[in-house]
Structure 1
Amino acid sequence: MTYVDGMIAAVPTARKDDYRAHAEQAAVVFKRHGALSLVDCWGDDVPEGETNSMRSAVLLKPDETVVFSWIIWPDKATRDAGVAKVMADPEMAPETNPMPFDGKRLIFGGFQKIFEA
């Protein structure tokens, strides 16, 4: 069954082009290791919440934008093996493809799909 990795991050607004280049390079590596598709979305309408929000979850600063991303995998086993390979892949090393954002504020998780319309 399809497995999804979901992520949100705070990216410096001035580094949008750097983020896109990073995402494009990472997509090649993730697909090589089993991912079916990757989607990265630049925040356009991300309101403050009454109790919590995407903005507060990533500790958004005034000069940053929330990015919402997901990776589709064929199944969890492929995802687990693929992520291990991605993390060991030299093309994902910080000196080769540096993250243009604070990775400590990246929020991610794996999800089993239960419904799709």
Structure 2
Amino acid sequence: MRYIDCFLAPVPRANRAQYEQLAKLSWEVLRDHGALRVVECWLDESGPDAATYHGVDARQPADNYGSFHAAAGAGKDETVVMSWVEWPDKPTRDAGMEKLTADPRMQFGDRPPAFDGARLIAAGFLPMLDRSLIRE
């Protein structure tokens, strides 16, 4: 059964290009260690209001809803990145993440960080529904 790692991180808006470089490198390393897919998403801060995700009869005032900005603990100069990694199964994920974290390409001691990794929110998920109209 497929396995999904999900991540939510506050990232300084000024570090977008640096984060994109990190994301591209991460994809290469993750792919080399068994990941099937990586999706990185930069928050659309002009995007839809949370109320638009609810039925008309169930909508509440905007202040009643949480936000990704708040969930990630993003500050005033930060936005949010939401990403996920798709693996064939949990054993492949466990082995792949162990290799990823030890991979020399993922050691950044000589570079300033694109974001504060200590504030990263991460968890693994078991898919309940997986449907797509996309044919690749």
2:31 corresponds to which residue? 31
**Of 58, 63, 73, the match for 1:59:** 73
* Aligned amino acid, residue 19 of structure 1: Y
Structure 1 distance, partners of 2:30, 2:17, is 20
**Of 88, 106, 109, the match for 2:120:** 106
Greater Rg, structure 1 or structure 2? 2
TM-score, length of structure 2 as denominator length = 0.78
Structure 1 distance, partners of 2:23, 2:63, is 28
2:104 corresponds to which residue? 90
Residues 32-61 of structure 1 show CA distances to partners (whole Å, capped at 9, x for unaligned) of: 000001010000038686364321222111
3-state SS of paired residue (1:5): strand
Residues 50-98 of structure 1 show CA distances to partners (whole Å, capped at 9, x for unaligned) of: 3643212221111111111000000000000000000110110023676
Q: How many residue pairs are counted as aligned between the two chains?
A: 117
In the alignment, structure 1 segments of 5+ residues that lack a partner are: none
Q: 1:98 to 1:79 in 2, by over 3 A?
A: farther
Instruction: Give aligned-pair identity as a percent.
Output: 43
Higher strand share: 1
The 8 Å contact of residues 40 and 68 in structure 1, kept in 2 or not, is answered as yes
TM-score, length of structure 1 as denominator length = 0.90
